[in-house]
Every structure is written in C-alpha cells, then in structure tokens.
C-alpha cells in the first residue's frame, strides 16, 4: 500500500510495513506541482520503483494493483478544488496501476495516527497546522458526524506572511539608510530570507555611476521570530471566538516547523493554553508528515479489512443458502413423476446462487430415486417374501448417508485412537518453586469402554468449544491454527514448536507471536474468555536442560512478584506454560517519538506528563524485587487513561524481561544509557541533575 500526501504546493510519498516511512524519489523527499494529476502521473514509475525496493527489503512485494490512500490539504467541504476531482477521476477510470481506497485530509489523518484508526476517542482536538504556506486551525470532535467540526484558515500567520513581514522590515531599514530598493534587490532579499541564518547578514550589491555599492543588515534571531509571527494575536482572537471554556477537556497539537520558534511557542503556552487545554504534540514538518501518512495508511488498512470481512460474510451467506436449497431438495423432491416440476422450481433458484445446473439435476434425480427406492423396500417388507434385515438396514444407511446424529462404530474407533495418543501427565514439583505445576484439566485419560468413548466425544467438544459433527472435524479443531492471520515470521516461530500446536491451540486462540524472546511467547485469548493474555511456553526438550528449566521457573517467580494477575505453571504433553494479563500501550521508543520528546531541546519544553513518564519508570525500577541484564526500550510499555477529572494519566508496565540475573545498580545504569540515547546525553544530564538521579 502507498500513501500520497498533497500540501498546497508539494507532493510526498510514504509506505508502511510495521512503521511508516517517507520515501525519497530520485534523491528528493517532495515534489512541487502545478497539477496533482500530472505530478502523480509523471512520477508514477519512480514511486513504484522506490516502493518496490522498500517492500522487498521487508520480504514483501507489491501486487499488480496497488492499494492507494491520498491525503489532501485541509479545506472547507464546499471548497473542493477541481484538481482533486480530476485526480480522483483519473485514478478510477484512466489508469490500471492504483486502486484508490481512501481519501482524507491532514488533520483527520493525524488523528487516525493518534487513535490507530479507531473511532473511540471522546476529547475535543484542536489542531494548528502550518505544513503549507499559512496556518490552518481545525477543531475535531467525535460528536460531529464527520469529526471535522470547524475549519479556519489564518492567512495572517504562516511562512508566507512571515517572509513578507521580514521583507518589508528590511526594505524600511534600507530606505532609512538612503537605499532605493528595486525589484532586482527584492528578489535577492527574498532568496536570503528563505535561507535565513542567525550569523549571516542580509546583503546586496548595486552599481551607481560606475561605483559598486554594497548594502548589509544583520537581523538577530529574536527580531526574526517576532516578524515571522507578527500577527500571532490573531490566534488568540480565534480561540476566544471558540468558547473553549465550555469544553470539558481539549487537546492541542502543533504541526509544522513554523511553531518551533520560541517566540510563538511561548505566546501560545502563556496566552492561549488554559486549565482545560493541553498541548500534546509539537512536531516539525518531517515528523508531522510521517504521522499523517501513518494515520492515512492505518485507516486504509482498516477499510480493506472491513471489505475482506464483508466479502467473507457474503460467501458464508451464499454457502448457507446453497446448503439450505440442497436440503430443501432432499425434503421436497419425493415423487419421480414430478421431476420436471421440481426442475422448474429449483433451477432458477440455483442460478441465483451460482450452483451449476448439473449439481441441481443430480440432486433432484438422486433424491427422488432414493425416496422411490425406500418405498419399494417398504412394499417388499410387508409381503410374504422373506427379506434379509441387514439388506434393508444397508439401504437405509445409504439413503440417509448424510445423517450424523450419532457416532458410528468407525468414528468411535477413531476417537479411541485419538484418545490413546494423549498420555496421562503426573503433577510435577519443582525444586526452585514451592508451587506445584498442576495438570491442565483439559487433558483426558484414554477410554477403553464403548460408553466411555461416547462420553469422551462430549468432553472433547466441550474442551475445544467445537461444534463439529464428525471425528475429522474434531481432529481439525485440535490440530489447526488460524495461521492466515499471523505474519510469515510468526508462522515460522510456531512451526519451530509444531509438536505443541495440537495442545496449545486447544487452550488458546493465538493472535500474535512475539519474536526475539527467551522462550516461545505469544498474545492470545483463553477459550471462552475475550480478554487478552501473554503466554510463556517451554517445550519438553528445553525442559530437560536444567539451566533452561531453572531460567523458566525464575521468570515465573519474578513475574509473580511483579504482576497482579499471574497463573501457576501448567503442564501439557509437549511442555509447560504460564500466562499473565496483556497490557495495551506503546513501547517506549514509539511513545517518545509520537509525542515528540526526542525533538525537545531544553528541560523547560517538557510538559508535566513528559516528566511523569521518566519519574514513573524510576519508581517502577526502585520497586522491583529482581534485576536482569540487557534491558531494552521494548521492555517498557507506556499506558494511558483518563482520570475522573478527565486529565490524562500515563502508566508504565515492564514486559518481556530476560532471566539473566543482574545487580540493581547495573540494571539502573543500563536504563540511564537508554534515556541518553532517546533524548540526548546533554539534555538527560540536565534532567538527572534537576531530579537528583
């Protein structure tokens, strides 16, 4: 899948595997355009080449028809440009490469990134965006049908108006010095404004009566920032008109490098942000575009998933309707003399359900023949002619071969065979752990008596929650896993533990395999329970190695000391496992990147929520009753929730730790190194000094 982002002047391209990436085409991240359609058409081959290269590096490839999502600049609904209409018509009608899945705008795509394309948020969001030449203010709330409640362009603010302010300021200064600024000098100054540097003066040269004259002016950073946001009070006027005080809680996001200047940022913080407002994002252009593309791609993936589900549901409905029609034939086609009537009734219905004509004809003829045959047998059994009882029974079984209301002798034998391969596991007592490893109650002892086998059928159906009618289906429920929903690398991990699959999948529905873990670890749902769990599994071969088994039990002991909800260790014929609750959240690196913590330059830029994150991690570490080696950012899951007063509260959970023991001092040193890499050594040193860490 590919995402195309259009600003009022530029086109960018992004792709997504596990993370979203902006692509460079011929060394450029973006293209200026006059026509959206022409720009996409002209660069189509370069886009395909760069996208194919990216996905091949991830072990994937693009299909012949490539799903596409497009992000347009934010605008009023009634002001849709003719360029958009032209582009969409071209994509739908005149080209064969892309399939347009979804179109959106920058703000809506950004919210889809924040909420992972789920419409489950309740807060009001205000987005100030400067990704084009002007500032756009948009308000989004879940109460509005299309989520975009209000859009206001603030033309007096933005890069374009800021450059004009600086140019007018310079012209005034040079005029006062006696210079006459013509159009040629203006163009020189405009170019220098675009490439402004603090330590470089604005200058130009001019010939006058054969003399070469040079004008120069130094513009300090404070004046430059003031001029770039000269009309910043317009933002306050717009906010005052919104009646923000009537909103319970409101989040503000600042998108674009224009808001990175200290003058504008301080003004917004001091003059606009109130008790019920909180700035949650402040991103430069690159990070803003990356997160916008990510949201658009996530939304398009969700749409494709819905389409796939709808298609499968339609197929399921057709399947049921076809079976219902065939069942109707078997119950209603009883008279061979009415075959033509049956044909005229059922053939049109079969055509609507795409059932081949020969299938319907065969079912009609076979059913009427079966009923005729049964009537003839009944006639013979009422006469004086002796008829073998077994012959009648055999024919009855043939006519009613689809009846599976009770198990046959062969199916009972197969169940005996199936039961015999499940050994009886004894309770194991570990030397390291005082708690016994209990036998999983789903494991049954083999049956030998016929009535016991019939009882085991009921128990096997209950334990696997299967609703199958045949032994083959029961076996399938024991031995299959929905691998089509797992990525290839996760299927490979499962295949390495193939012997354990028949047992594991009878207890769990496996949703995700975690790679690079010490033991097989996966996210799943227990049968009959909708909540998610995380399971750690050690197979029998590993369990025979004392060092491995001790490591596994050590992880269980540590987990029990940390997690509120942790199971005992259970035994299966293929190994042992335990499980804990699954925590929904972001790993530390993703949270820091998404919230722009790695972009901040001073400790004053950190919000109270940002500081709380670091302090909660140290609070977690100080409370641990164990220490381990090789700490990584993947070990920290950042969670968030709204408190009773609608303030956001974050939390941190420790996951995926290894069994290699360490000292608390060494572990804390590793965490210090992690934070230095995440936000920079210089800034983190200041942080440690301020909080005596």
Where is pLDDT greater, at 332 or 406? Answer: 332
525-558: b (≥16 Cβ within 10 Å) or e: eeeeeeebbbbbbbbeebbeeeebbebbbbbbbb
Residue 217 and residue 234 in one domain:
no
Averaged pLDDT for residues 174-182? 86
Strands 520-526 and 532-539, by their bridges, are antiparallel
Q: Which band of pLDDT confidence, cut at 50, 70 and 90, is reported for residue 622?
A: confident
Q: What are the tokens at 664?
A: 């608390």
Averaged pLDDT for residues 226-237? 85
Residue 150 and residue 170 in one domain:
no
Q: Which band of pLDDT confidence, cut at 50, 70 and 90, is reported for residue 235?
A: confident
* pLDDT for res 293: 94
Whole domain around residue 515: which residue ranges? 438-581
pLDDT at residue 432 tops 70: no
In a domain, 512, yes or no: yes
In a domain, 674, yes or no: yes
pLDDT at residue 447 tops 50: no
Most confident of 497-506, 610-619, 683-692: 610-619
d(C-alpha 527, C-alpha 461), whole Å: 12
Averaged pLDDT for residues 538-542? 89
Residue 136 and residue 250 in one domain:
yes
* pLDDT for res 499: 56
pLDDT at residue 188 tops 80: yes
Please tell me the number of Cα atoms within 13 Å of 413 on its side-chain side: 3
Full 3-state SS string of 357-423: HHHHHHHHHHHHHHHHHHHHHHHHHCCCCCCCHHHHHHHHHHHCCCCCCCCCHHHHHHHHHHHHCCC
Residue 528 and residue 451 in one domain:
yes
Tell me the three state secondary structure of residue 206: strand
State the total domains in the chain. 5
Residue 351 and residue 385 in one domain:
yes
pLDDT at residue 132 tops 70: yes
Q: What is the pLDDT of residues 371-423, one digit of tens each?
A: 888 888 887 776 544 443 333 333 333 334 333 333 344 433 433 333 333 33
* pLDDT for res 494: 59
Residue 450 and residue 542 in one domain:
yes
pLDDT at residue 495 tops 70: no
Q: What is the chain's Cα-based Rg?
A: 35
* pLDDT for res 296: 93
> Residue 581's Cα: distance from chain center in Å?
20
d(C-alpha 612, C-alpha 651), whole Å: 9
- Lowest mean pLDDT: which of 27-36, 302-311, 415-424, 629-638? 415-424
In a domain, 327, yes or no: no
* pLDDT for res 487: 60
Q: What is the pLDDT of residues 272-283, one digit of tens each?
A: 776 667 787 888
pLDDT at residue 451 tops 50: no
Residue 144 and residue 25 in one domain:
yes
Q: Identify the CA nearest to 325 among candidates 303, 352, 306.
A: 352
Strands 98-105 and 66-72, by their bridges, are parallel
* pLDDT for res 638: 93
Q: Which band of pLDDT confidence, cut at 50, 70 and 90, is reported for residue 463?
A: very low
Where is pLDDT greater, at 44 or 507? Answer: 44
* pLDDT for res 382: 62
Residue 9 and residue 98 in one domain:
yes
Residue 451 and residue 534 in one domain:
yes
Q: What is the average pLDDT score of the chain?
A: 78
pLDDT at residue 536 tops 90: yes
Residue 576 and residue 591 in one domain:
no
With pLDDT > 90 as the criterion, what percentage of the chain qualifies? 24
Q: Which band of pLDDT confidence, cut at 50, 70 and 90, is reported for residue 34?
A: confident
Residue 222 and residue 235 in one domain:
no
Q: Which band of pLDDT confidence, cut at 50, 70 and 90, is reported for residue 164?
A: very high
Give the torsion through C-alpha atoms of 486, 492, 495, 501, to 10 deg: -30
């Amino acid at each position: 899948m590919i995402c195309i982002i259009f600003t009022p002047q530029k086109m960018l391209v992004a792709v997504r595997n596990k993370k979203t990436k902006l692509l460079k085409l011929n060394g450029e991240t973006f293209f200026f355009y006059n026509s959206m359609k022409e720009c996409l058409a002209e660069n189509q081959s370069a886009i395909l080449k760069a996208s194919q290269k990216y996905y091949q590096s991830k072990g994937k490839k693009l299909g012949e028809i490539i799903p596409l999502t497009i992000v347009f600049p934010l605008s009023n609904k009634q002001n849709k440009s003719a360029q958009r209409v032209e582009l969409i018509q071209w994509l739908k009608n005149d080209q064969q490469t892309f399939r347009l899945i979804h179109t959106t705008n920058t703000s809506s795509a950004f919210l889809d990134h924040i909420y992972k394309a789920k419409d489950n948020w309740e807060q009001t969001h205000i987005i100030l965006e400067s990704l084009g030449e002007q500032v756009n203010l948009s308000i989004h709330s879940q109460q509005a049908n299309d989520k975009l409640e209000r859009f206001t362009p603030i033309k007096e603010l933005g890069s374009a108006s800021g450059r004009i302010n600086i140019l007018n300021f310079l012209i005034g200064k040079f005029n006062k010095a006696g210079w006459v600024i013509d159009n040629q000098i203006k163009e020189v100054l405009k170019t220098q404004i675009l490439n402004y540097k603090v330590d470089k003066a604005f200058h130009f040269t001019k010939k006058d009566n054969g003399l070469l004259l040079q004008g120069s002016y130094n513009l300090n950073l404070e004046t430059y920032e003031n001029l770039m946001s000269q009309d910043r009070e317009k933002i306050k006027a717009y906010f005052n008109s919104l009646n923000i005080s009537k909103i319970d809680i409101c989040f503000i996001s600042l998108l674009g490098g224009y808001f990175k200047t200290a003058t504008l940022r301080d003004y917004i913080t001091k003059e606009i942000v109130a008790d019920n407002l909180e700035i949650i994002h402040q991103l430069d252009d690159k990070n803003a575009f990356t997160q916008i593309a990510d949201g658009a791609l996530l939304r398009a993936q969700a749409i494709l998933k819905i389409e796939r589900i709808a298609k499968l549901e339609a197929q399921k409905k057709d399947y049921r309707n076809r079976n219902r029609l065939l069942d109707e034939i078997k119950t209603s086609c009883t008279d061979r003399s009415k075959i033509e009537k049956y044909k005229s009734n059922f053939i049109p219905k079969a055509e609507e359900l795409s059932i081949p004509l020969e299938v319907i004809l065969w079912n009609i003829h076979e059913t009427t023949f079966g009923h005729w045959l049964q009537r003839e047998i009944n006639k013979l059994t009422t006469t004086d002619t002796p008829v073998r009882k077994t012959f009648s029974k055999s024919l009855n079984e043939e006519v009613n071969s689809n009846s599976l209301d009770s198990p046959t002798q062969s199916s009972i034998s197969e169940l005996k065979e199936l039961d015999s391969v499940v050994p009886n596991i004894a309770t194991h007592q570990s030397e390291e752990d005082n708690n016994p490893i209990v036998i999983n109650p789903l494991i049954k002892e083999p049956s030998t008596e016929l009535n016991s086998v019939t009882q085991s059928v009921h128990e096997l159906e209950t334990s696997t929650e299967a609703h199958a009618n045949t032994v083959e289906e029961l076996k399938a429920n024991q031995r299959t896993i929905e691998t089509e929903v797992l990525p290839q690398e996760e299927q490979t991990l499962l295949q390495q533990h193939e012997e354990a699959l028949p047992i594991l999948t009878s207890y769990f529905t496996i949703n995700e395999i975690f790679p690079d873990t010490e033991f097989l670890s996966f996210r799943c749902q227990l049968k009959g329970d909708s909540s998610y769990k995380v399971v750690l599994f050690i197979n029998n071969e590993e369990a025979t190695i004392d060092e491995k088994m001790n490591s596994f039990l050590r992880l269980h002991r540590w987990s029990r000391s940390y997690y509120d909800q942790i199971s005992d260790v259970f035994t299966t014929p293929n190994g042992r496992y335990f499980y804990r609750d699954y925590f929904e959240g972001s790993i530390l690196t993703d949270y820091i990147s998404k919230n722009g913590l790695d972009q901040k330059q001073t400790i004053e830029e950190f919000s109270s929520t940002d500081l709380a994150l670091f302090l909660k991690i140290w609070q977690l570490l100080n409370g641990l009753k164990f220490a381990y080696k090789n700490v990584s950012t993947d070990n920290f899951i950042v969670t968030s929730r709204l408190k009773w007063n609608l303030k956001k509260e974050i939390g941190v959970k420790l996951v995926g730790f290894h069994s290699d023991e360490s000292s608390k001092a060494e572990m804390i040193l590793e965490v210090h190194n992690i934070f230095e890499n995440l936000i920079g050594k210089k800034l983190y040193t200041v942080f440690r000094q301020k909080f005596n860490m």
